Structure 1
Amino acid sequence: MTGLTRRTMLQLSAAAGVAGLFAGRARADAPEGLKLGKAERFSWDWLQRHARELAGRAYQAPPRPDPEIVQRIDYDAHGKLDYRMDYALFPDSAYPISFQHVGMYFPKTVRMHKLTGGGTAREVLYDPGYFDAGPGHVASELPAEPSAFAGFWVHQPRSKGPLSKVEPWATFLGASYFRGIGEEGQVGMSARGIALDPGGAGPEEFPDFRAFWFEPAATQDQPVTVYALLDGPSVAGAYKFLLHRNAGVVMDIEAHVHLRKQVTRLGLAPLTSMYWFSETRKAPMADWRPEVHDSDGLYMWTGAGERIWRPLNNPDRVAISSFQDRNPRGFGLMQRDRAFHNYLDGVRYHRRPSTWVEPLEDWGPGAVQLVEIPTDDEIHDNINAIWVPDGDHPAGSAYHLSYRLHWRNDCPYPSGLARCVATRLGRGGQAGRANPEDTRKFVVEFKGGPLTGLPKGTLPEPVLTASRGRFSNQRTEAVPNGVPGHWRTMFDLTIDGADPIDLRCYLRTGDQVLSETWLYQYHLLAEEA
């Protein structure tokens, strides 16, 4: 987690359909356009060389406009800074771009550049006149130098409405964070350029995207191209983004990363989300809502072809789970539960996107790591999913990565197997008898796929394993709701010791696998010990 809360990030880079930070207000006075710096040579090859050379030099922090003033641009003040869309970058292109202002939660300067063709770029020079702030706004006290740009939005085309009202579908704001909207037209979880030791014993490092270069999309069927320079105390990198707008958003990403310093755990293609509680587990009187989460599980498609569903936890201490693999086919933090009545919240958790990472090349050996950090509120991003390549990561190491991010409702490559749709916990034992204090009951629900067409009288067989403990009272039955293909397996687990227990289950008939593999890490919480 960072000092920047998830709620602030979501509010300041609000979902499409919500009043935007830079919704723009038309002005009677016609602007002369963005101010641009002198032409400079630019190419993707140059940016890669520049990042490599930068990693060989001592780190220098990015400029910060007057910290005393910026610290006073809190959430409310930041919300009054409306970007004037008549100053949009590429206003006549398929997808215009607007810029976002520094503030308390985004205090560092990020340089913006317009690619003008012929291998040249011109920096977009900050001018306070790009923003409508209202009389007496604290931001008006900032000087023109250094730049007060902190991030950017990519907007829908003019065909969706007046340029002052078109909504954003991709946003880059804060450190190396970025988001896309899903099929439901809403943002939720985040991706990052890189993650350095999330959830580790020491403080996590958050490198910044220091500069961006933009190429417009000529048509709505073509991508917006964004180049980015990443820089931090331990790393420098060159990134290329191809941003596609379709039913949701697809981002093709190429990254070249160079380490200045040794990194303990190098997190590539990182995803960040929020999970507080769900039907699986909820502290008594924690909240009035049935569930609160942006994502409810980690989904993995391994290099060997296995489909794995790992429900998320909110443990009482940091938990890091490592899933060894070679050349994974994909992984993602998913929001599977899309029934409003399971949330009852006006912030529309049931519409939050899932984000799937698809490697576009062989990644070799490594691990998908899941980092779960305790939280007692929904304001924190407490979940990380990252790819960690095998081996040590000393200073001077270089990494190349090519992958695709899908922001949509579900995994873009369904397996055809039955899916895990719920994980429920309770006290173990049998009705009418005393419940043993050391026994927990697990109910795992699977639905769809081959379960739908099972011959009458066929009972799926659960294949169960646990890292320790003893199973009892095991049975499998159709969920009595009249829905074809909806089954649940139930079992008790007698627990010995207080360390986490790793559980694994899938359904089969004979040699036929019927379901994806359910993995779960059970934590004996402090109040249960």
Structure 2
Amino acid sequence: MDASAAAPDELFDRVTDRARQLAAEPYQAPDSSLPPDLAEMNYDQYREIRFRPEAAIWKDEGPFEVQLFHPGFLYDQPVRLNLVDGQGEVSPLPFRQERFRYDGDASELAELELDGIGHAGFRLHYPLNRGDYHDEFAVFLGASYFRLVGRNQGYGLSTRGLAIDTAEPHGEEFPAFREFWLVKPGPEATRMTVFALLDSPSLAGAYRFDITPGEHTTVDTEARLFAREDIGKLGIAPLTSMFLHGEIGHHPADDYRPRVHDSNGLVMQTGSDEWIWRPLSNPEKLRLSRLQDQSPQGFGLIQRPRDFSAFLDAEAHYERRPSQWVQPLEDWGQGSVELVEIPSESETHDNITAYWVPDQPLTAGEARRYRYRTLTIGATPPGEEVARVIRTRQGWGAVPGQANPPPASRRQFVIDFRGGELSSLDASHPVEMTLESSNGETLEPQVQRLPDGRTWRASFRLAPDGGKPADMRLFLELNDRRLTETWNYVWYPDEFR
């Protein structure tokens, strides 16, 4: 692409033209011919390669700095990086070995001639937590993945540029960013712009990321997509996370920690302003569910427990993992938020993903644009003022000492709500439960205020209909006025363990 000077909007148009041109041509897989010493290195070797902080791009020139990732190990398809200066001049950023240290198991790599091989990705730094230190707040590394943190948060879930055919029987396609343009911010800037060119067998795209680090690190995204082929399932603004075990699922007998997860629920704000909370699970087999909607206002994967005592993990500090919220900046029309839950036996594997799927498929030769904001948050999405689910528990629905107890398939569910107007009500207020289930019979519904005076509990028993799953919805109301988000959960009797 022409490297002459251009204003940011004009540069984005040029990247868009390149994506449109790519989509009109047959797909060509990127060259991944790394030297064998890099392509075959193991994790221990790769982690001994460190970028030299004193070599950071734009060091001491303003609030933002850029550090680079070395290719190798899992990252065998280097990306092209370009810098855009204050006058709009574009210049390639070549790979230079002198910017890296090769320690321990990687020391022999220092003897190789590697200049010119490209970078695996990059990370952005800014005085996020202190005024005198440049913290890492964003990482672009691998396929179309990037991760963000806000103030006093640690890395957890990931964001992706796009998802194609996730959880489909014929397999998922992983689009990848092939080239980036990093626009140098001014000396007093609080926002940075990154452009990216995405490519895959089915599609090419141009992306603009306007990134603002802070308490809630925010990215305003515009994606311009061009289809080479028909795409059956297009996943917009994908979020990828991990849930091993928690309060509602199976608890491993040999793990001292009560919870292990980067996120414990999916939240959605519908076009009609209903707030939905869906607890996450670690199923025995892959589970896929959809929340249908028209013109959604937002969705996200949320880490609701924020205290150390919820996890008791002094190393991982899951209580500091960010939640991520996606807010459309235009009408997305009819579609669904799709949630995929994958069986996992290790906290090192991401097994949760959620994204928006438009009802209208993307066909070959079609172009489409999506604009949205994604931001790191804590336990609560922006604008949610109703009471929220703080706990979901389930167990055998038998009464202690019962002479003829029901089968183990009968379950008791306990859902605790707190916040909003609900937490100011007296126990005498006639708070009621609205409960629906797609299958089975719900029994003994009860609502009560708990002794702390702020939390209200909804409980019921479920008698499943054989092995049929029960898709349940529950919320609390007072005088026909909804006070809480809607608790939504699917119980699979065949997964009782």
One fold, TM greater than 0.5?
yes
- Native 8 Å contact 1:208 1:232 kept in 2: yes
Aligned to 1:27: none
Give the deviation of 1:67 after TM superposition: 5.2
- Native 8 Å contact 2:305 2:379 kept in 1: no
Give the deviation of 1:166 after TM superposition: 3.3
Are residues 1:254 and 2:225 paired?
A: no
- Native 8 Å contact 2:303 2:379 kept in 1: yes
Instruction: Name the stretch that deviates more: 116-125 or 493-502.
Output: 116-125
Aligned to 2:242: 274
Instruction: Name the stretch that deviates more: 120-129 or 351-360.
Output: 120-129
Change in Cα spacing, 1:416 to 1:160, as seen in structure 2 (3 Å) is closer
Give the deviation of 1:339 after TM superposition: 2.0
Aligned to 1:3: none
Instruction: Name the stretch that deviates more: 286-295 or 215-224.
Output: 215-224
Are residues 1:74 and 2:45 paired?
A: no
Aligned to 1:18: none
Q: Which runs of 5+ in 2 are unaligned?
A: none
Q: Distance in 2 between matches of 1:286 and 1:505?
A: 33
Are residues 1:443 and 2:404 paired?
A: no
Show the 5 A alignment for 1:454-469: 454-469=425-440
Give SS of 1:304's match: coil
Aligned to 1:54: 22
Q: Distance in 1 between matches of 2:13 and 2:2?
A: 21
Change in Cα spacing, 1:283 to 1:186, as seen in structure 2 (3 Å) is closer
- Native 8 Å contact 1:80 1:134 kept in 2: yes
Q: Which amino acid aligns with 1:95?
A: F
Give the deviation of 1:194 after TM superposition: 0.3
Q: Which amino acid aligns with 1:80?
A: E
Aligned to 1:390: 359
Give the deviation of 1:158 after TM superposition: 11
Give the deviation of 1:247 after TM superposition: 1.0
Change in Cα spacing, 1:305 to 1:219, as seen in structure 2 (3 Å) is farther
- Native 8 Å contact 2:128 2:213 kept in 1: no
**C-alpha RMSD of matched pairs (Å):** 2.1
Give the deviation of 1:40 after TM superposition: 4.1
Aligned to 1:301: 269
Aligned to 1:137: 107
Give the deviation of 1:41 after TM superposition: 5.4
- Native 8 Å contact 1:270 1:384 kept in 2: yes
Aligned to 1:207: 175
Aligned to 2:472: 503
Q: Which amino acid aligns with 1:304?
A: S
Aligned to 2:373: 404
Aligned to 2:446: 475
Give the deviation of 1:159 after TM superposition: 11
Deviation sequence 1:65-97 (CA, Å, 0-9, x none): 425222333222222212123322222121110
Show the 5 A alignment for 1:296-335: 296-335=264-303
Give the deviation of 1:222 after TM superposition: 2.5
Q: Which amino acid aligns with 2:36?
A: E
Change in Cα spacing, 1:222 to 1:339, as seen in structure 2 (3 Å) is closer
Q: Distance in 1 between matches of 2:176 and 2:304?
A: 31
Give the deviation of 1:281 after TM superposition: 1.6
Change in Cα spacing, 1:332 to 1:153, as seen in structure 2 (3 Å) is same
Change in Cα spacing, 1:138 to 1:111, as seen in structure 2 (3 Å) is farther
Are residues 1:337 and 2:305 paired?
A: yes
Deviation sequence 1:374-401 (CA, Å, 0-9, x none): 1122111111110111123222222201
Give the deviation of 1:338 after TM superposition: 1.2
TM, length-normalised to structure 2:
0.93
Aligned to 2:339: 370
Q: Which runs of 5+ in 1 are unaligned?
A: 1-36
- Native 8 Å contact 1:211 1:229 kept in 2: yes
Are residues 1:245 and 2:213 paired?
A: yes
Q: 2:232 aligns with which of 254, 261, 264?
A: 264
TM, length-normalised to structure 1:
0.88
Report how many residues are paired: 488
Q: Which amino acid aligns with 2:152?
A: E
Give SS of 1:363's match: coil
Aligned to 1:153: 123
Q: Distance in 2 between matches of 1:402 and 1:111?
A: 25
Give the deviation of 1:220 after TM superposition: 5.3
Aligned-pair identity (%): 39
Give SS of 1:125's match: coil
- Native 8 Å contact 2:427 2:449 kept in 1: no
Are residues 1:353 and 2:309 paired?
A: no
Q: Distance in 2 between matches of 1:81 and 1:39?
A: 31
Q: Distance in 2 between matches of 1:287 and 1:525?
A: 24
Give SS of 2:85's match: strand
